[in-house]
Every structure is written in structure tokens, then in C-alpha cells.
Amino acid sequence: LLSRLGGIVAQQMLYPFIGRVFIHTLEPASFLDLPDTDPRPNTLVTFHANLLGHPDLPRWLRYTQRSPSQPGFLYGTPTLEDRGQQIIEVIAYNRESFETTRQRLVLLVGEPEGPSLPYEAEFLVQSHDVEEVLPSPIGQHFLTALGGLWVPGELQLLNITSALDRGGRVPLPIEGRKEGVYIQVGSSRPFSTCLKVVGSPASHDRCTQGQPPLLSCYDSFVPHFRVDWCNVSLVDKSVPALPGPVPTWGSGILEHDPYFCPPTEAPDRDFLTDALITLLVPLLVALLLTLILAYIMCCRREGVLKRNLATSDIQMVHHSTIHGNTEELRQMAANRTVPRPLSTLPMFNVRTGERLPPCSDIAQVPLILDQH
């Protein structure tokens, strides 16, 4: 209603927390006027979201929608640098009626409530896509299943990332194949012994060698979730990291080093000799090779007379006979006054099937028929 009154854009206030996963579902009914008795409940609607005044979303926020018949999701985990107010503009497109609706989401990123979560664990769930984990019931179900492996305490979702954003490959279009999703969970309680064994270097070494990981407890995720235990990472932030040495700023002038003695003066060098050698030597070699080749081809010719004297008389007579007969045949073909031999008459044409009698041969018939 507000979007139709004088161009007023509807707004919604949301409150993401730093270090906690933020999930907002984009329902078509909240954007478009879809009555409850709509005979087409699966209206095709797509969304486009961007930061107000910018072409894209903030770096911590992602948008996904599996198909136009399903809702879209805005999800991500803000950091300390993202604290403050951010306005997200969402445009919904009705693919059937071509209706568009604009809505603004005002995100007020603030500090999280409750105790800190210094113990973080990340799991790769291979049995789900990111759109299947983003709804709240699925996430709570995952935390409930994880409670069987972790010390009971406050478990919260810290981040959800698609495996494709981590360099994973798009699965084949086979039933049961999923893209996979990384789920990061935090807690105020230390890791259990089971998780420590799975995340130990010895377990990762077994995975590298193609062996099953070290899982010393019952897999409570089965059968609803299929977790890749070779991709479990544990981060303990309860012990603060020691700060590194503070760099000291110097004067900007290098100190005296006995091993580094750059020359103070560079003597003048004449490159004329080097240039002449580089150009003249290849030219002289090429000229020498040209003279040798010319001598072999032009100055060592034997001549026709020397060749005839070195050839036997029988071979010369044989060659002269062949040459004379060839000239005689050429003269006969040029005159065409002699009838063709009977053995060369075209009695049957293979291509046309025409039969020619022997008496039809005259002197004007060519020796070789034209082939068309």
C-alpha cells in the first residue's frame, strides 16, 4: 500500500549482530499483492538486491534463490568493520504479470548479546544445498544433532557458506547429489574429546592417505545430515594470541653494510666495437656461404658434351630411339590423317552406357574422349 501512495517505498528494520549469522527470507507475498485464495500459489518471482546507492550488496551479505518459484534469501555474517546502519534495496519482479515492487531493508548492525563464543567449529555438510539450510528449522535441527557430540551448552550458528563459494564444483545433475554447505558453529564450552580427535593432525593425515578419519563417538548427524569428517576445522579463541613485535620506524637511510658496496662511479664504455662485431660477423659468414654455393652450382658444371662422352654408345642409341619415336607419335597425332587402331576404339561407354560400332571410327575422332 505504501509503495503505491506517492512513490513511498516500504521499509523494514532488521538487527544483525556482529559475528552471528544473519538470515532474512524474501517471501513473494510480502512484496506483491497475492491474495490468500490465489489459485496459483507458486507465482514466479525473482529478486534483485543491492546496497542503496551501490550496484552490489555489502561484502558480508549474499543473495541466493534456487528458482523463481521458491523464496530468496539474504544471508551473511557481519564483522566489526560493518557496524552501523546499512540500507538494502530489494526489487521483486513478477515473471507472470511483469509487476515490480521495491522494498528497503534497514540493517542496524550491532554488538551481539550474551556470552562470547570463543570455541568455533566448522563442518562440511554434503547432503544439503545452502538454500536448504538457511530456513530456521533446518539450522536448529543441525544444532540439536551437534549437541550429541559437543559438551551441552549454548550453540549458535556463526556462518553459513555454500561450498561453491569455497572452490567446490557444481555436482552432476544426478538425484541425491548436492552442492554442499559449510556451517560454522560457536560455543562458550570447550570442544569435546570426540571433536578434538576428529580435528587432530593425525586424523587429517589419515584423510590425506585415503583412510577414514578418527571418529571415536557415534555420528549423531545420521541420517538427516551427511558430514564430511575430513573437512572439520576447530578454532580456539579462548587463549588470546600474543601480539607480534612492534615495528620501529627508522630514519629511512640504510645503515653501513660491509657486504654491500655499490660502485660510486661508472666508467665510460664504447659500444662501437661490440656493435660492429655483432653486425659484421653474421654478414661475413652469410657472404662466405653464398660464394661457396655459387661456386658449386655455377663453376663446376660438367656440360652436355662431357656427359655424352661419359655415356656408352648403346645407352645413347636407346635414348635417341625413344626420343625419335616420341617425336614421330606427336607428329602423327597432330596430323590426324591415320585412322586409330581397332584396339583403341570405344566399343562401350561405361559412364553413359552408349555402344559405338567399329565402323563409326573416322580420322576426326580424338584419341582421348573429352571427360565432362
pLDDT at 289: 95
- Worst-scoring range by mean pLDDT, 76-90, 247-261, 348-362? 348-362
CA–CA gap between residue 293 and residue 244 (Å, rounded): 75
DSSP 62-130: EEE-S-TTS-EEEEE---GGG-EEEEEEEEEEETTT--EEEEEEEEEEBPPPSS---EEEEEEETT--H
pLDDT averaged over every residue in the chain: 81
Cell numbers for 175: 538425484
Burial 276-292 (b: 16+ CB within 10 A, else e): eeeeeeeeeeeeeeeee
- Worst-scoring range by mean pLDDT, 2-16, 124-138, 253-267? 2-16
pLDDT at 348: 54
CA–CA gap between residue 217 and residue 198 (Å, rounded): 10
Element containing residue 284 per DSSP (H, E): helix 272-298
What average pLDDT does range 302-330 have in this prediction?
82
Position 306 confidence tier, pLDDT thresholds 50, 70, 90: confident
- The model's pTM is 0.60
pLDDT at 340: 62
Q: What are residue 125's DSSP bridge partners? A: 181, 227
What average pLDDT does range 295-311 have in this prediction?
76
Q: In this model, does residue 371 exceed pLDDT 50?
A: no
Position 169 confidence tier, pLDDT thresholds 50, 70, 90: confident
Higher-confidence residue of 370 and 288: namely: 288
Phi, psi values for residue 202, rounded to 5°: -65, -35
Q: In this model, does residue 280 exceed pLDDT 90?
A: yes
Q: In this model, does residue 49 exceed pLDDT 90?
A: yes
pLDDT at 108: 92
Place of cell 570442544: 191
Cell numbers for 289: 656461404
pLDDT at 268: 82
Position 6 confidence tier, pLDDT thresholds 50, 70, 90: very low
Position 344 confidence tier, pLDDT thresholds 50, 70, 90: low
What average pLDDT does range 187-212 have in this prediction?
87
Q: Which residues contact 305 (CB under 8 A, 6 or more apart)?
A: none
Q: In this model, does residue 27 exceed pLDDT 60?
A: yes
Nearest residue to 57 (alpha-carbon basis) of 91, 84, 87, 13? 87
Question: What domains can be seen in the chain, in order of their start residue?
Answer: 8-33+42-113 (2.60.40.10), 115-239 (3.30.70)
CA–CA gap between residue 1 and residue 8 (Å, rounded): 9
Higher-confidence residue of 31 and 46: namely: 46
